[in-house]
């Protein structure tokens, strides 16, 4: 199968490219990525350096909002499937600056859908998030029919793009499938998100900024388990359907932070409670029962093992971290954290 991946230089997209090329020797991947602050070709150096993989891989720098580029690429490559990861993915950035979020997550998805309306593919998998269900009271768990109740510009744009994608199935009979995953973690995760931020700050012996009381709950999914779930949907999912992909591991943020400090060998005195995120969703919870029942997929990595592997990866890849955490990263850090007391 030849797959056009969008956003394949980001955290989850690059894991999808690496694992798919490694697991399926018949697979070919074209990676279309704009290389925003979150896109990093270093995340794919293992592919570029692997003689068994590099001939089955092509990188194209470009924007999913560029309709003529999409037309040209679809004509040239004629992919069997598209797996659409490209997005502005960070809630805090979406609060500070919503414009790129609406450009990429909504207009970009629309442009892509219009491109495949003219040049159909066999599968279009739209990668979305459990954030579209909003904050749930315990012990509720969202299945795919749960109402959408978004809080941030990021989640509102993702919900909009889900509905748009599904409308192309209903109206134009395009083979659209939507996945909604819980919080991912693992290697190559950009250190603006909770787990890599806390790991890298712990190694640097600088404060770990916990929003509010730290009692918010997220369900943690190891990134390779997410990619396996996406492949299950791509290969076995039913068109027009939504599939939740969860990690089955709900933890309060403060518990995650404590475990990171323990794993990194740093003291709890580094924890600093700071002003909460505006509109902060307290609890995400989904059930992936539908995906498990229809495809046999299940998350395989325990949180303990996954966190240990992740901490070790950051310990072993300090040059990657140093490059990512310089320049514009520090400007955003200042913007996001300096006003939080």
Question: Which residues make up the interface to ligand DAU (CB under 6 A)?
Answer: 89-91, 129-131, 182-183, 193-194, 197, 209-211, 216, 218, 253, 277, 284
Contact between 214 and ligand NAD (CB under 6 A)? no
Question: For ligand DAU, which residue has the nearest CB?
Answer: 129
Among ligand NAD, ligand DAU, none, what binds residue 64 when CB lies within 5 to 8 Å by partner kind?
A: ligand NAD
Q: What is the dihedral of CA 36, 128, 94, 88, to 10 degrees?
A: 10
Contacting residue, 13, 79, 187, 191, with ligand NAD by CB under 6 A = 13
**Catalytic residue of the set 130, 162, 219, 281:** 130
Comparing CB distances to ligand NAD, the nearer of 210 and 286 is 286
User: In this structure, what token pair is assigned to residue 159?
Assistant: 């919900």
Comparing CB distances to ligand NAD, the nearer of 39 and 214 is 39
Catalytic, 130? Answer: yes
What length does the chain have?
Answer: 341
Contact between 6 and ligand NAD (CB under 6 A)? yes
The 3-state secondary structure of the chain reads CEEEEECCCCHHHHHHHHHHHHHCCCCEEEEEECCCCCCCHHHHHHHHCCCCCHHHEEEEECCCCCHHHHHHHHHHHCCCEEEECCCCCCHHHHHHCCHHHHHHHHHHHHHHHHHHHHCCCCEEEEEEEHHHHCCCCCCCCECCCCCCCCCCHHHHHHHHHHHHHHHHHHHHCCCEEEEEECEEECCCCCCCCHHHHHHHHHHHCCCEEEECCCCCEEEEEEHHHHHHHHHHHHHHCCCCCEEEECCCCEEEHHHHHHHHHHHHCCCHHHEEEECCCCCCCCECCECCHHHHHHHCCCCCCCHHHHHHHHHHHHHHCHHHHHHHCCCHHHHHHHHHHCCCC
Site string for ligand NAD, 49-68 (x = CB under 6 A): --------------xxx---
Comparing CB distances to ligand DAU, the nearer of 116 and 270 is 270
Stretch that binds ligand NAD, among 179-187, 249-257, 258-266, 311-319 (CB under 6 A): 179-187
Give the separation between CA 260 and CA 195, rounded to whole angstroms.
8
Provide the minimum distance between the beta carbon of 8 and ligand NAD in the complex, in angstroms, as a whole number: 7
Catalytic, 154? Answer: yes
**Catalytic residue of the set 33, 88, 92, 131:** 131
Comparing CB distances to ligand DAU, the nearer of 134 and 175 is 134
Contact between 301 and ligand NAD (CB under 6 A)? no
User: In this structure, what token pair is assigned to residue 112?
Assistant: 């892509």
Site string for ligand NAD, 73-92 (x = CB under 6 A): ------------xxx-x---
Provide the minimum distance between the beta carbon of 197 and ligand NAD in the complex, in angstroms, as a whole number: 13
Provide the minimum distance between the beta carbon of 152 and ligand DAU in the complex, in angstroms, as a whole number: 8
Provide the minimum distance between the beta carbon of 25 and ligand DAU in the complex, in angstroms, as a whole number: 31
User: In this structure, what token pair is assigned to residue 100?
Assistant: 């790129």
Cα within 13 Å of Cα(256), Cβ side: 31
Contacting residue, 3, 4, 5, 9, with ligand NAD by CB under 6 A = 9
Provide the minimum distance between the beta carbon of 190 and ligand NAD in the complex, in angstroms, as a whole number: 5
What residues are annotated to the active site?
130-131, 154
Residues that bind ligand NAD (CB under 6 A): 6-7, 9-13, 33-36, 38-39, 63-65, 85-87, 89, 104, 108, 127, 129, 158, 181, 183-184, 190
């Amino acid at each position: 199968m030849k797959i056009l991946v969008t956003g394949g230089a980001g955290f989850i997209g690059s894991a999808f490219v690496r694992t798919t090329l490694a697991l399926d020797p018949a697979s070919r991947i074209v990676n279309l990525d704009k290389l925003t602050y979150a896109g990093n070709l270093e995340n794919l150096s293992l592919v570029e350096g692997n003689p068994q993989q590099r001939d089955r891989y092509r990188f194209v720098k470009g924007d999913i909002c560029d309709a003529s580029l999409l037309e040209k690429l679809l004509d040239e490559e004629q992919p069997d499937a598209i797996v659409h990861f490209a997005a502005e993915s960070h809630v805090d950035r979406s609060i500070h600056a919503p414009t790129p979020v609406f450009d990429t997550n909504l207009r970009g998805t629309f442009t892509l859908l219009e491109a495949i309306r003219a040049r159909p593919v066999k599968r279009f998998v739209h990668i979305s998030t459990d954030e579209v269900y909003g904050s749930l009271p315990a012990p509720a768990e969202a299945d795919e029919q749960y109402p959408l109740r978004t809080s941030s510009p990021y989640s509102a744009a993702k919900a909009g793009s889900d509905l748009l994608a599904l409308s192309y199935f209903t109206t134009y009979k395009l083979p659209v499938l939507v996945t909604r995953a819980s919080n991912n973690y693992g290697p190559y995760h950009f250190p603006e998100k909770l787990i890599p931020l806390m790991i890298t700050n712990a190694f640097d012996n600088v404060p770990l900024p916990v929003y509010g009381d730290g009692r918010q709950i997220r369900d943690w999914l190891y990134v390779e388990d997410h990619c396996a779930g996406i492949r299950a949907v791509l290969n076995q999912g039913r068109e027009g359907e939504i599939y939740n992909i969860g990690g089955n591991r709900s933890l309060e943020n403060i518990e995650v932070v404590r475990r990171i400090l323990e794993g990194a060998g740093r003291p709890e005195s580094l924890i600093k409670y700071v002003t909460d995120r505006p509109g902060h969703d307290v609890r995400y919870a989904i059930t992936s029962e539908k995906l498990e029942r229809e495809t046999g997929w299940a998350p395989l990595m325990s949180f303990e093992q996954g966190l240990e592997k992740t901490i070790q990866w950051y310990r072993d890849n300090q040059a990657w971290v140093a490059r990512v955490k310089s320049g514009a990263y520090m400007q955003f850090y200042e913007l996001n954290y300096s006003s939080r007391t």
